[in-house]
């Protein structure tokens, strides 16, 4: 009797448990109900692995468009789009010199949606480079790289280099003429320290250039070994490192006290939330911060009360969602508008003429046409070291989070735009009209050209200009603004110039229609 009763109740329990299983499953995953109050939403952000990279509350100021222009998130979104489309392309792509070009053609003409996905991948790559560069420009001009944020600025620089590295390695994979010759040039730039060691006569002892080319190509010329290595770097090594550094970069924003904002700002104006409400924030002196004793560095200023924070869910999430959809939309529209290029199959004995790198390297290619070592390695290294040292040299804490807000800064920026434009244009005009040292002294030693060429003169003039400005205004930050602005201007002009005005044989042409046909 008793056993049968037990049986029925066990059966009942089983039935009830089966009914409850979905709810229990959800509870096991989320551990709370659908969050619909500020408190539960904060809790949700705090306890969710994927969301906890956000702080639970965010300063209202950080959500304003002009604080960030959404550029960091947009870079991340482009990266996500690239990972997804990249994995899709890997299904059909074949990294062998015999099949690579055919498989890209397959993707383009045969694979369902293949052309569209490849276009998106290509455009998202361009967009990511643009977003990352603009993001750096934003962080610089809003003075957001100091006061505990020095290390994150360095991580950001590493991410910039990785972004360019991913673009460069991806460039070879289609194995067409454009790819082959751009990578041949790139690999020889890696070898170009020989220009210096040859001139000094020490290549026999230490051949840094040769080693760099060897590890990049695995051979003397671009071939199967190079394709294997570039593929490995492009689909695995660099994306892995990139993902880790992106995580570090985002985590550090939070640990460094959120997005930079002016310390001096104490407005009590009602804030407009993304949901449309107007909210006035009241001081909350009764708040307690139990765990804060354990946290070093920036913690919320408890006694001030004027925190002007809103909950991350949904305010920041809406903003992020908007940026993500915007990025996707731009990619899709560009992909419909224009196909990713595919030239003829790679031909190792006939270079493309002109053989141009992707646009973001064209400024460097212009410098490379003066000296391979200085343009390809020397000047980029100097610029990167300068950018890395920036937050340690310039640590004035005023006006963080505000666009070029200090006294005289806007003026110096405009002057630097003018100065940079003038210097770059006149050097270009001079070089095209009169040539350079070798045209006047044909037997001149290479080492002189390596160190005295339009590229190095440009950098030298920028440094002098920056020092003069810093001294005149008695401010290191102004010196920084002067040189950074000059570099941005030089990058833009050189990129434009090499894209539009350089034709076959790297000769100067006013218009592409003037290029000789053959």
Partner 1 sequence: MNDITRKPQPICRRDFLGQIATCACATALGLATVGMARLPFPAVIPGESSKVKIGHPADFPKGEGLWIAATKAFVFRDNEGFFVISGICTHLGCIVAQDPKGFHCPCHGSAFGNRGEVTKGPAPSALPWLEISLASDGQLIVDTQKVIPMGTKLKV
Report the C-alpha gap between 248 and 511 in whole angstroms: 46
- Return the residues of window 22-61 that contact partner 1 according to CB under 8 A: none
Q: Which one of residues 79, 123, 181, 313 is an interface residue with partner 1 (CB under 8 A)?
A: 181
- Site residues for partner 1, window 423-442 (CB under 8 A)? 435, 438-439, 442
Rg (CA), the chain: 28
The distance of closest approach from Cβ of residue 431 to partner 1 in the complex, given in angstroms and rounded to an integer, is: 11
Shortest Å distance, C-beta 210 to partner 1: 10
Beta bridge partners of 271: 279
SS3 278: strand
- 296 vs 518, which CB is nearer to partner 1? 518
Task: Look at strands 278-279 and 309-311 and give their pairing.
Answer: unpaired
Q: How far is the CB of 456 from partner 1 (least distance, A)?
A: 13
Q: How far is the CB of 384 from partner 1 (least distance, A)?
A: 21
Q: Looking at residues 209 to 268 of the shown chain, list those that interact with partner 1 (rule: CB under 8 A).
A: 211, 214-215, 218-221, 223-225, 229
CB of 371 to partner 1, least distance (A): 6
As a whole number of angstroms, the distance between CA 101 and CA 114 comes to 14
Q: How far apart are CA 64 and CA 272, in angstroms?
A: 10
- Closest approach of partner 1 to the CB of residue 292, in Å: 25
Residue 288 vs 505, nearer CB to partner 1: 505
Backbone φ and ψ for 272, nearest 5 degrees, come out as -95, 120
Nearer to partner 1, 130 or 219 (CB): 219
Contact code string over 338-377 relative to partner 1, x by CB under 8 A: -----------xxxxxxx---------x--xxxxx-----
Task: Round to whole Å and give the CA distance between 148 and 131.
Answer: 24
Considering only residues 45, 127, 154, 187, which one is a binding residue for partner 1 as defined by CB under 8 A? Answer: 187
* Residue 345: φ, ψ to 5°: -55, 145
Distances (CA, A) of 259 to 57, 60, 248, 435, 485: 12, 11, 15, 48, 23
Stretch that binds partner 1, among 148-156, 170-178, 186-194, 255-263 (CB under 8 A): 186-194
Please list, in sequence order, all residues whose beta carbon lies within 8 angstroms of the beta carbon of residue 165, skipping any fewer than 6 positions away. Answer: 233, 238
Q: How far is the CB of 104 from partner 1 (least distance, A)?
A: 23
Q: Which helix (H) or strand (E) holds 57?
A: strand 57-59
Q: Which is nearer to partner 1, 300 or 354 (CB)?
A: 354
The reply on whether position 185 binds partner 1 by CB under 8 A is yes
Minimum CB separation from partner 1 for residue 510, in Å? 17
Task: State in angstroms the smallest separation of the CB of 296 from partner 1.
Answer: 23
Q: CA geometry: angle at 322 spanning 321 and 326, to 5°? A: 115
DSSP E strands in 342-476: the ranges are: none
Q: Tell me the number of residues near partner 1 by CB under 8 A.
A: 45
- Residue nearer to partner 1 on the CB measure, 123 or 230: 230
Q: Assign residue 398 a region: left if phi > 0, alpha if psi is -120 to 50, beta otherwise? A: beta
- DSSP string spanning 363-389? HHHHHHTT-HHIIIIIHHHHHHHHHHH
- Contact flags string 467-506 toward partner 1, x per CB under 8 A: -------------------------------------xxx
Q: Which is nearer to partner 1, 264 or 514 (CB)?
A: 514
**Closest distance to partner 1 from the beta carbon of 484 (Å):** 28
According to CB under 8 A, which one of 67, 75, 167, 192 is a site residue for partner 1?
192
What is the greatest pairwise CA distance in the chain?
Answer: 114
In the complex with partner 1, the residue whose CB is nearer, 184 or 409, is 184
* In the complex, least distance from residue 515 CB atom to partner 1, rounded to whole angstroms: 12
* Among 164, 221, 168, 170, residue whose Cα is nearest residue 191: 221
* Side-chain-facing half-sphere of 55: CA atoms under 13 Å: 17
> Where does this chain bind partner 1 (CB under 8 A)?
181, 184-185, 187-189, 192, 195, 198-199, 211, 214-215, 218-221, 223-225, 229, 349-355, 365, 368-372, 435, 438-439, 442, 446, 449-450, 504-507
């Amino acid at each position: 009797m008793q056993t049968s009763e037990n049986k029925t109740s066990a059966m009942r329990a089983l039935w009830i448990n089966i009914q409850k299983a979905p709810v229990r499953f959800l509870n096991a995953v989320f551990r709370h109900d659908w969050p619909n109050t500020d408190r539960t939403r904060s809790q949700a952000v705090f306890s969710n692995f994927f969301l906890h990279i956000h702080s639970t509350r965010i300063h209202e100021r950080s959500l304003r468009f002009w604080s960030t222009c959404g550029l960091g998130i947009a870079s991340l979104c482009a990266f996500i789009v690239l990972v997804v489309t990249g994995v899709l392309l890997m299904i059909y792509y074949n990294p062998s010199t015999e099949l690579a070009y055919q498989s890209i053609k397959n993707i383009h003409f045969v694979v369902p949606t293949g052309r569209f996905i490849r276009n998106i991948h290509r455009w998202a790559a361009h967009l990511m480079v643009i977003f990352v560069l603009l993001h750096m420009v934003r962080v610089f001009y809003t003075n957001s790289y100091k006061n505990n944020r020095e290390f994150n600025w360095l991580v950001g620089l590493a991410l910039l280099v990785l972004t360019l590295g991913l673009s460069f390695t991806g460039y070879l994979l289609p194995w067409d003429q454009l790819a082959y010759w751009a990578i041949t040039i790139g690999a020889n730039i890696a070898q170009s320290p020989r220009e210096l060691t040859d001139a000094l006569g020490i290549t026999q002892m230490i051949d840094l250039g040769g080693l760099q080319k060897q590890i990049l190509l695995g051979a003397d010329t671009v071939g199967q070994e190079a394709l294997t290595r570039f593929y490995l770097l492009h689909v695995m090594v660099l994306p892995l490192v990139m993902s880790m550094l992106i995580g570090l970069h985002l985590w550090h924003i939070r640990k460094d006290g959120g997005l930079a904002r002016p310390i001096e700002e104490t407005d009590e104006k009602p804030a407009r939330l993304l949901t449309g409400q107007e909210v006035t924030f009241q001081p909350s002196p009764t708040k307690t911060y139990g765990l804060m004793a354990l946290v070093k560095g920036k913690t919320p200023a408890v006694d001030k009360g004027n925190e002007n924070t809103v909950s991350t869910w949904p305010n920041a999430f809406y903003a992020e969602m908007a940026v993500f959809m915007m990025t996707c939309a731009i990619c899709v529209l560009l992909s419909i508008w224009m196909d990713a290029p595919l030239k003829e199959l790679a031909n190792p004995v006939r270079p493309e003429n002109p053989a141009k790198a992707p646009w973001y390297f064209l400024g460097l290619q212009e410098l490379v046409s003066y000296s391979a070592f200085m343009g390809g390695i020397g000047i980029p290294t100097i610029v990167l070291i300068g950018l890395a040292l920036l937050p340690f040299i310039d640590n004035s804490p005023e006006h963080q989070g505000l666009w070029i807000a200090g006294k005289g800064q806007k003026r110096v920026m405009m002057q630097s735009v003018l100065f940079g434009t003038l210097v770059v244009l006149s050097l270009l005009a001079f070089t095209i009209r009169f040539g350079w040292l070798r045209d006047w002294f044909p037997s001149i030693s290479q080492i002189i050209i390596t160190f005295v060429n339009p590229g190095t003169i440009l950098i030298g003039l920028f440094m002098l200009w920056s020092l003069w400005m810093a001294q005149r205004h008695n401010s290191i930050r102004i010196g920084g603004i002067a040189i950074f602005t000059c570099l941005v201007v030089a990058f833009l002009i050189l990129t434009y110039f090499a894209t539009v005005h350089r034709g076959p044989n790297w000769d100067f042409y006013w218009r592409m229609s003037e290029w000789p046909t053959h």
